[in-house]
A = this chain, B = another copy of it.
Amino acid sequence: MLKGFTLPKSPFGQAALTPPPPWHYSGDAMGVEFWADPGAVAATLPPGLSPDSKSNGRAVMMFLEWQFTAQDDEYLDPARYQYREAFVLLDAMYRDMPVRWCPYVFVDNDAALARGWTQGFPRKMGSIFQTRTYAAASPAAAPLMPGARFGASLSAHGQRLAEARITLRKPAEDRLSLFGRPTVLLRYFPRLAAGYRDRPAVNELTMLITDNPTVAEAWIGDGELNLPEARGEELHVLAPVAIESGFRCSLSYSVTDLRILEDHSA
């Protein structure tokens, strides 16, 4: 009896790309809230989602550094389980519910890629960096204080896909607005057999379920975002028309479940 939540299934269940849930995450995030072209946003929406006419192209680009653990002290093996991530979320409507849709997301770790696919995050591999804040005072420490600046970047296959900078102004008074809408994803797995390629084996609109979401040390301020054109990518089509703000926070959550909104599997 082979074991493992994902491939590779193996006799002892140790070879699988990711251990089974519950999955626990804690990390640091910075991001920029902006407006993209509403038509470009609408063009990314899968069946089941519709444009949010009230938000008119509102989006957020986020850069994250994550520590992961499941049930076996995975956080003590950071070479295998730490990872970095960058994604864009776009305002949309699921029926009459305001949601955030994730069209593009990059990570630098295969365990994270595999977990993401099972949820509907369309993860590809990328190289992600963000300025960190450190406890020992120095011109290099980037302490959390008014005027502090942070930079971030995303690259894939040697092309720069995103660059952001933020300047902190003040602690955020309450939970950041970007966590105020649920995240909707497309869980999708194609068929390769000839004659069946238009009938994906898995084609589900899903909603991310996060247990115990926690935000700490949240700051808001100003932001800059550049999404340069790159071959083999379409993120740049969402380049900012206007910037709303920048932010930085620590956050954590756990995953034990997934909500299937609609099943279009063939």
Q: Chain A interface (Cβ within 8 Å of chain B)?
A: 2, 5-12, 14-15, 17, 20-21, 24-28, 40, 43-44, 46, 65-69, 73, 75-80, 82, 103-105, 109-110, 113, 117-119, 122-125, 127, 129-132, 134-142, 149-155, 157-160, 165, 186, 188-194, 197, 201-202, 212, 214-217, 231-235, 237, 249-260, 265
Contact = CB atoms under 8 A, between A and B. Distances in A.
Contacts of A194: 256-258
Nearest to A120: B7
| Protomer copies | 4
22 contacts: A5-B190, A6-B188, A8-B103, A9-B122, A12-B234, A25-B138, A26-B136, A79-B129, A79-B153, A80-B232, A82-B131, A125-B125, A129-B158, A134-B250, A136-B215, A138-B212, A138-B254, A140-B252, A158-B159, A158-B160, A189-B201, A192-B258
A67 B231 contact: no
B257 A193 contact: yes
A259 B194 CA distance: 9
Given A82-B132, A252-B136, A188 B26 contact: no
Contact of A76 (B9, B25, B151): B151
A6 B194 CA distance: 15
Nearest to A233: B15
Which secondary structure characterizes the binding site on chain A?
mixed
Contacts of A141: 26, 67, 252
Contact of A149 (B7, B67, B76, B257): B76
B79 A158 contact: yes
Contacts of A28: 134-135
A73 B147 CA distance: 14
B118 A190 contact: yes
A71 to B, nearest CB: 9
A164 B105 CA distance: 28
A136 B113 CA distance: 23
A250 B80 contact: no
Nearest to A212: B138
Contacts of A20: 197
A237 B11 CA distance: 10
A157 B79 contact: yes
